[in-house]
Amino acid sequence: MSRKQIIGGVGDRAGRGAGRGPGGEVGDDSGCPILHVDMDAFYASVELLDRPELKGTPVIVGAPGARGVVLSATYEARRFGVHSAMAMTRARRLCPVATVIPPRHGRYAEVSRGIREIFEAITPLVEPIASDEAFLDVGGARRRLGPPALIARVIREQVAERHGITCSVGVASSKFVAKLASRACKPDGLLVVPADQAVEFLHPLPVGALWGVGERTEQALVRLGIRTVGDLAQVPVSTLRREFGAVGAHLAELAWGRDDRPVVADAPDKSIGGEETFPHDVDDPETIRRELLRLSERVAARLRAGGHVGRTVSVKLRRSDFTTITRSRTLREATDVAKEIYDTARVLYEAAGLERVRLRLVGVRVENLRPAATATRQLSLGERETGWREAELAVDRATRRFGPEAVRPASLVRPPSDAMGP
């Protein structure tokens, strides 16, 4: 997709206005090279493309089981109080009329790649945050494409025309303010926060809007009488540092709109992992081992697809009382082979002493990543190549051609009566 295709005919329709500022006036976007583009209810919106009869109705995307969580919800469902990361059982109580759709991650990845193409046709400085959002630095594209607000409008139109979904875009002088601006104009909106109005935009917001303010930190701030970003801005930095350490000084900077982090294109993955919450608590070691194998296969496939290998394997084990234990081991050589990942994960699980403890969740993660092209395997004297990687590459090829269930380890081929499913 060329840059010319991206703009083709859209500029005239989008107009040359700079967008709306926080007070509703036309904002000056001359000092605002940073865009935060966020898809609106992404997973749910993609599902509606294939099920248009559900448009305008409450739809929830997520695993329908008792342990499932909400991944996405249409705005019709959100009016009932449903939101992402909510337990599915609670979401269904809040909105019993909603249609629940199991997630299709392959479909979402396909649409996400198309959206990424739109971004990269405009600027090489694209920093994906998730499959449905990204930061863009369009400072270098102004001479060719026009002011940032116009570029934002072009992006919105192209996403709608090419993929049939909507997005919201925040335009600002920093990543932090741009992200808050996109949130403020959802759904299907565009908001410019001029550089000289960033403080005016920030100070009325609740203090929980700041990056780094989780639920506990927000509660601690409220106990100190700090409820808005403006309240926080008036507190001496020394006081914030005394109460919250280095985090306090960072929050003081954000409260005045100071965020000098650049947009980092293609930031390398720090780790790749997966986890699974069981439909019911499990204390059978063989069932746990099978799930560790399933997750190791999934993680290894993602490593190979991304051109990564990793040296550190970790497992996450969550008990029925929600206490969580993690264990990790660094390998002699970096790997993207499922068998090596699984062998390490199994040993870590067995060494944790939880083989007869009821678990509700297990996870496998590979860290310490590097490009696979730079990795070399050193064989010990007399050691032979096992051929496992070649076999798994053959599985990758079969999976791409015939689907994810085409080839599986024998231990993962389960009888239909098995409660854990295939």
Q: Answer for the pair 122, 155: CB distance below 8 angstroms, yes or no.
A: yes
Helical (H) or strand (E) element with 361: strand 359-371
Contact 58, 74 (CB under 8 A): yes
The answer to the question of whether 38 is labelled as a binding residue is yes
Rounded CA-CA distance 187/168 in Å is 6
Helices marked H in 55-174 = 75-78, 88-94, 105-122, 142-145, 148-163
CA proximity to 302, closest of 404, 375, 385: 404
For the sheet with 167-172, list strands across it: 126-130, 133-137, 34-39, 167-172, 190-192
* Backbone Cα Rg of the chain: 24
Considering 47, 127, 133, 392, which one is annotated as catalytic? 133
133 is catalytic: yes
Are 186 and 192 contacting, i.e. CB atoms less than 8 angstroms apart? no
C-beta atoms surrounding 260 within 10 Å? 9
Rounded Cα gap, residues 250 and 74, in angstroms: 34
Q: Is 260 annotated as a binding residue?
A: no
List the catalytic residues.
133
Binding residues: 38, 132
Q: Output the known binding site for Mg(2+).
A: 38, 132
